[in-house]
Amino acid sequence: MEIAPLSDDGLIVNRVAESAIETLDLAALAPPEPVAFDLAPHLYRGLVLREREFRQGLKATDWSAYDGADVAVFCSADALVPTWAYMLVAARLDGIAASVTAGTPAEIRQARLVAALAEVDWERYRDAPVVLKGCGNDLVPLDAFVQATRRLQRVAGKIMYGEPCSSVPVWRRPQAAPAANAAKPLGAKPAGPPRAT
């Protein structure tokens, strides 16, 4: 068992805090969870959209629950829903919701988080060992980790997953090959057998 290092004054040294490891917490970039508007309860028997009943159902809906929210409009039922149904919901939410997007809350969260990655200053991770923090966080979609890894490979020296104190190595920038002691000039041909005269 390794004994924790002590400083000159007898205190335990926190080597993680003193390391050059940068931590990127993708959850901190995650936008708020969108509020779901499911079309399925507005379908006849959960399967068919009847225009008149659908419009009446929307008219009777209490839209105040969506005030200032980012709304995800989707249908959880395996039903064919015409495009105009989504358009009607968007029209009802105009001036109430902060935004309206077609898709499940998870799809919208993923798209927005990937878009937020485009705004990150990746240069701050230049040549640094970087840990993508992710242990125990279900808010961050898998694709965000994939996209962050791709972007970090352009700048970071090393990429890890987990926590700085306990991480899994993912990628390391290849080291430059050492120069050969007796480098041959470009275009030089290897020596062959002597020519007969």
Mean pLDDT by 10 residues, the chain (197 residues): 58 57 93 94 93 97 97 96 98 97 95 94 97 82 94 98 92 83 57 63
pLDDT of residue 14: 46
pTM (whole model) above 0.75: no
Degrees (nearest 5) of the Cα angle 126, 129, 130?
90
pLDDT of residue 189: 60
**Domain residue ranges in the chain:** 15-30+120-172, 35-108
Tell me the pLDDT tens digit for each residue of 104-150: 999 999 999 999 999 999 999 999 999 999 876 677 889 999 999 99
List Cβ neighbours of 34 (8 Å cut-off, separation of 6 or more): 69, 70, 71, 72, 101, 105, 108, 109
| pLDDT > 70 in the chain, percent | 80
